Structure 1
Amino acid sequence: MTADAGRRRTVASKALVMVVAAALTTTACGVGDGDGAPGVRAPDGPTELVLVAASLMEPGFDAVIEGFGDGEEGADLAVTPEYGASGDQSRKVAAGLPADAVAFAARPGMERVVRAGVVDPTWDEDATRGVPAGSVVVLVVREGDPPGIDGWDDLLRAGVDAVVPDPRTSGAGRWSLLAPYAAAGGADGDPAAGLGFVRALVAGHLAAVPATVRAASEEFLDGTGDVLLTVESEAKRLAAEGAPVHYAVPEGSMRVAYPFAVSARSGHPGAARTFMNYLYSTEGQRLWARSGFRPVDPGVAAEFAGEFPRPAGLHTIEDLGGWESVEEELFDGDDGAITTIFDEADE
């Protein structure tokens, strides 16, 4: 089943977890402690926490949820994750989908639920700005890599076609286009050069633009295109599942940040914060790393440095003016520069 269908998985914490089918869509069936709060304690079972998250983060959360449940702190708690496309998840939570905690592929999704009053505006006032794990943008190729692709300029060579998640619908798609935009000049005060690269890529070198990161991976594995633009955590997932691919981290890649926050509407905020703290613990950070995500703890990052090489010229969203500026100038639904390039290509 694809991420578009929104997979539901339950990971129990030393107890059998009752999965209530209506728990994520209504509070009328007994979910919550009042006022529509999503958390629930079964009469003789653990306290359930609902995590609404981007499917892009599924391998990491599955690992940390299991680790949390195996430990003393999670003994009486059970986390039920609901995965789906990041933008869809954010919009559903903003519209009222119950959640004790939320996690998205990029900051704009979190800002949407903050504006809706679901998450407190102070959610990012910590050392990592509310980000328990991250990634970088990479180029995925098939075994043998016949075209010899390992850098951005290779994408514009004659005969090379790429698959990229649609940046109009996918958080991973936004990251995947921001990396070459930044490397081509967008991060060095030359947005015209950055947009020129994106325009050339879209006009002559895109084999497919699937709506989600998982759909893009599936289409590439089915034989479409020569290279897949995606995030390292997704590339590592493919490799871990035995896909015949490998990836390169190009010079001038982009640091990807996956935000997480506890919901201000949680029926069990203390329990939700206990789970949040585990994400940042040494054990939790090691589980993120083993699942293909770059840890934010410096000590753990040093342990796994061999698995997560730092590319030369790594850019951050701050190099482009921050997400507020990027969303307005590049991804606005009406006249964002990159949105317009893709819209024109569809005509």
Structure 2
Amino acid sequence: MQIRSRAALAAALVGALSLSACAPGGGSGSSSADADNTISIVGFAVPEAANKAIAAEFQKTPEGEGVKFQTSYGPSGDQSRAVAAGLKADYVHFSVPTDVDRLVDEGLVDEDWDQGENKGVVSDSVVVFGVRDGNPKNIKTWADLVKPGVEIVTPNPASSGAARWNALAAYGQVISDGGTDEEATDYVDAFFKNVVSLPGSGRDATTAFLGGTGDVLMAYENEAILAAQNDEGFEYVIPDTTLKIENAGAILKDASAPSQDWLDFVISDEGQKQFALTGFRPIRDDVDYGGVVEGAADPNNPFPPVKTLLTVDDDFGGWDEVTPKFFDEENGIIFQAITGAGLSLE
């Protein structure tokens, strides 16, 4: 099966994507005099609400006073390719670090972008199962997802970083339970045979599920919480074994003047508080967000401990090993599972 041309897609995105004002603090455009005081954010779709909340708080600080924002959100991989092809960005917020590494390879981001105390991570979450009200299919475990008749919605790993976390969680839970690589591969083959929709991004997957597609949505925990905050909620299950999601943020080499202050604020306690209030798990355990997050399954205990929480570094050997093994376009385990199930990577 022919996988879409990434270069052609990126070129199309640069032509089609426009940076829109990020409320608060933005206008429909900015003069050259304003350019040095405007931060262009290019990110994956899921954290848009969080970044807006953080922007509002940042503009209350001396460093953020008068700063304007322009934003573009979409599937993480597509957004990264668009920046590499020329889409204007000062700060990028991507689902997976490899989408930032692409910009390092293009000479747009410093090689040491992930050497700080936070290792380049600006937001955390975990993989969960979104289910219909009352959980009519009684979906509680990974084994339940591959039962006959269960229809899964998950984004497309050819474009979406969220999809890659979901797929790795599906594979990793087998290994964590003592299974072999062969058994884990068999599981993801069965998993994708139950997939009925592969939308382009995590946000598009949520929209499809809310529109009635599928029995279960593979999602970020924060996406489920945000949906509830927007009165579009669905129940969600945190499986006993799941994967820690670590989203990457970086500024470009030619970023506008306030961009470093913005990144510093994003990873500060106040920035992480705003992430928490929109459903993300703070990157530090000591962040005080008030203890209550509306929209969570239990607002007073919004981020319960996970029995077995996998990480890419500890359980998969890091992204340098993950990318060729799982997401190579010809031989990657996940891409082969998708095409083997008769699904399209287009």
Q: Tell me the TM-score normalized by structure 2.
A: 0.86
Alpha-carbon distance in structure 2 between the residues aligned to 1:328 and 1:146: 38
Counterpart secondary structure, 1:71: coil
Matched, 1:326 2:338: no
CA contact (8 A) 1:163 1:229 kept: yes
Number of residue pairs the alignment of both structures matches: 320
**2-structure distance, mates of 1:182, 1:188:** 10
Instruction: Evaluate the alpha carbon distance shift between residue 248 and residue 194 of structure 1 in structure 2; reply closer, same or farther with a 3 A threshold.
Output: same
Find out whether 1:306 has 2:314 as its counterpart.
no
Match of residue 248 from structure 1: 237
Contact persistence 1:139–1:227 (CA under 8 A): yes
Match of 2:336 in 1: 340
Distance 1:207 1:6, change over 3 A: farther
Is 1:266 aligned to 2:275, yes or no? no
Alignment of 1:133-144 (within 5 A): 133-144=123-134
Matched-pair contact (CA < 8 Å) for 2:241–2:308 = yes
| 2:185 aligned partner | 195
| Equivalent residues in 2 for 1:98-113, closer than 5 Å | 98-113=88-103
Change (3 A) 1:139 1:74: same
Amino acid at match of 2:143: D
Shift of residue 190, structure 1, vs aligned partner = 2.7
Superposed counterparts of 1:228-243, under 5 Å? 228-243=217-232
- Do 1:162 and 1:206's aligned partners in 2 also have CA atoms closer than 8 Å? yes
Contact 2:169 2:242 in 1 (8 A): yes
Q: CA deviation at 1:301?
A: 6.6
Deviation at 1:207, TM superposition (A): 2.1
Deviation at 1:185, TM superposition (A): 1.4
Report if the CA contact (8 A) 1:53-1:103 is conserved. Answer: yes
- Structure 2 counterpart of 1:317: 312
Aligned to 1:292: 279
What residue number does 2:296 align with? none
**Cα pair 1:238 1:245 within 8 Å, conserved:** yes
Instruction: Provide the residue aligned with 2:20 in structure 1.
Output: 8
Question: Aligned in 2, Cα 1:322/1:291: closer, same or farther, shift over 3 Å?
Answer: same
Which residue is 1:213 aligned to? 202
C-alpha change, 1:259 and 1:221, in structure 2 (3 Å) is same
C-alpha distance in 1, partners of 2:329/2:305?
33
Which residue does the alignment assign to 2:28? 19
Counterpart residue type for residue 124 of structure 1: D
Letter in 2 for 1:311: V
What percent of counterpart residues are identical?
A: 32
Deviation at 1:70, TM superposition (A): 2.4
How far apart, in 2, do the equivalents of 1:93 and 1:273 lie? 18
Following the alignment from structure 1 to structure 2, what is the Cα–Cα distance between the partners of residues 254 and 155?
A: 16
What residue is the counterpart of 1:44 in the other structure?
none
Please say if residues 243 and 309 of structure 2, whose CA atoms lie closer than 8 Å, have aligned partners that are also in contact: yes
What secondary structure sits across from 2:58 in the alignment? helix
Q: Unaligned 5+ residue runs, structure 1?
A: 24-29, 34-38, 42-46
Tell me how far apart the structure 2 counterparts of residues 157 and 330 of structure 1 sit (CA, whole Å).
23
Which moves more between the two structures, 215-224 or 60-69?
Answer: 215-224
The CA distance in 1 between the partners of 2:53 and 2:247, in whole Å, is 16
For the pair 1:185 / 2:175, whether they are aligned, the reply is yes
* Residue aligning to 1:278: 265
Secondary structure of the corresponding residue to residue 298 of structure 1: coil
What is the RMSD computed on CA atoms of the aligned residues? 2.3
Separation of aligned partners in 2, 1:139 and 1:69: 36
The Cα offsets for residues 121-167 of structure 1, whole Å up to 9 and x where unpaired, read as 10111122111211100000111111111211111223221111112
Normalised by the size of structure 1, how large is the TM-score? Answer: 0.86
Q: Give the structure 2 partner of residue 227 of structure 1.
A: 216
| TM alignment of 1:87-166, pairs within 5 A | 87-166=77-156
Secondary structure in 2 matching 1:56:
coil
| 2:295 matched residue in structure 1 | none
3-state DSSP of counterpart to 2:92:
strand
Task: Give distance in 1, aligned partners of 2:281 and 2:65.
Answer: 27
